[in-house]
Amino acid sequence: MAVITVLGAGMMGSALCVPLVDRGHEVRLVGTHLDGAIIESLQAGHFHPTMKLDLPAAIRPYPAEALPAAMEGAELVALGVSSAGIDWATSQLAPFARPGLPIVMITKGLELREGRLGVLPDRVQRGLPEAVRDTVFPAAIAGPCIAGELARRVPTCVVVTGRDAGTLARLAEALRGPYYHVFPCADVIGAEVSAALKNAYAMGVAFGVGLHEKAGGVAGSVAMHNWESAVFAQAIREMMRVTALLGGDPLTVTGLPGVGDLDVTMNGGRTGRFGRWLGLGLGVAASVARMEGATLECLEILAVMREGLAAHEARGELRPGELPLLRQMMAVALDDAPVAMPFERFFAEGAG
């Protein structure tokens, strides 16, 4: 068994610790500078105040300033921060990186670098010291996983993806357990594009729930499921188009990182709740307020994609009419446009 340090004590980073300690690893959970209250609660009685759940006593909580102690003897590092915190987390980890140290992240997002969209494992690798950069290949976990369910040991299937087969094999063996099923995936572009974009598309599918309620409807077998299914199908087409655009395998979108994660995020994730508020007509500001401080990576990825699409269009790699659903979600979530769907532009050849 290994000594594993997890940086980031939010819901997903903390939830990941549960299958790790159940696997027999020594797990050290380090809070960020924003996680002080969580770490204090865990130290006092193992209770995670955000998940409202007692975590296993074997998880050892550390405040941010104790990272050096938590990294002593660490054989594997997991980054549990949001995309907004990935550069900070990389800078904190960099002094402790050593050749061959496995790093795995649960962060979801894409970056725009020199006018091109890219994946976050590559960004983390660039942030490591030059002396270790050629021997450390950061990987990422992607797939359908609600933190509160994983922490309650609900059977969960995910992939671990990265650019080095040896690292993936080591990580899959270290991470998997009786209820946490981890499968290696060599297509880092496809897996990471899916993991990032599903947050935005889940918001779009969930518009239908809010629109149904706004019209006086209640949840049931007759609602706006036809509407939601059409948006879901277009979302998969567009995720496949973006994956191909960036050089990944579009078929990866049809597996756990894409279809699987979109379904779980739409039905059980915070992004689905946010989309419902927008569908009800509350507007962006009021909908954000209703989320009570929850991280909304859908807004971050939509902002990155808006710039990225413009850059790819300027080079002639993407036509202006492609990805109509993604563009409509940008208008709703970034510009406060009315919730509507351009169904007449869906499913057309060359429309994504």
User: pLDDT tens, 32-49?
Assistant: 999 999 999 999 999 999
φ, ψ dihedrals at 162, nearest 5°: 180, 180
Residue 187 to residue 239: CA distance in whole angstroms: 14
Ligand-binding annotation for 98, yes or no, is no
Closest CA to 78 of 122, 132, 35, 140: 140
Residue 286 to residue 291: CA distance in whole angstroms: 9
Note the pLDDT of residue 292: 79
CATH, domain range 3-186 = 3.40.50.720
- For the chain, give every residue range classified as CATH 1.10.1040.10: 195-345
Residue 262 to residue 256: CA distance in whole angstroms: 9
pLDDT, tens only, 151-189: 999 999 999 999 999 999 999 999 999 999 999 999 999
Whether 228 and 205 have beta carbons less than 8 Å apart is answered as: yes
Residue 2 to residue 16: CA distance in whole angstroms: 15
Ligand-binding annotation for 13, yes or no, is yes
- For the chain, give every residue range classified as CATH 3.40.50.720: 3-186
Superfamily of 195-345 according to CATH: N-(1-d-carboxylethyl)-l-norvaline Dehydrogenase; domain 2 (1.10.1040.10)
Percent of the chain past pLDDT 70, that is, above it, reads: 99
Closest CA to 335 of 290, 303, 289: 303
φ, ψ dihedrals at 10, nearest 5°: -70, -170
Note the pLDDT of residue 320: 85
The burial of 291, by beta-carbon neighbours within 10 Å (0-12 exposed, 13-18 middle, 19 or more buried), is given as: middle
What's the mean pLDDT when you consider all of the chain? 94
pLDDT, tens only, 58-92: 999 999 999 999 999 999 999 999 888 999 999 99
Whether 117 and 109 have beta carbons less than 8 Å apart is answered as: no
The burial of 293, by beta-carbon neighbours within 10 Å (0-12 exposed, 13-18 middle, 19 or more buried), is given as: exposed
φ, ψ dihedrals at 213, nearest 5°: -65, -40
pLDDT, tens only, 307-329: 999 999 999 999 988 999 999 99
Side chain identity at 153, as an amino acid letter? R
Torsion from C-alpha of 30, 260, 347, 274, nearest 10 degrees: -50
Q: Write out the catalytic residue numbers.
A: 198
Give the confidence band of 351 by pLDDT, cuts at 50, 70, 90: low
Residue 289 to residue 266: CA distance in whole angstroms: 19
pLDDT at residue 245 greater than cutoff 70: yes
Note the pLDDT of residue 291: 86
Instruction: List 47's β-bridge partners, or say none.
Output: 54
Ligand-binding annotation for 8, yes or no, is yes
Averaged pLDDT for residues 194-203 = 95
Note the pLDDT of residue 168: 94
Ligand-binding annotation for 270, yes or no, is yes
pLDDT at residue 281 greater than cutoff 80: yes
Ligand-binding annotation for 12, yes or no, is yes
Give the confidence band of 350 by pLDDT, cuts at 50, 70, 90: low
Residue 90 to residue 128: CA distance in whole angstroms: 7
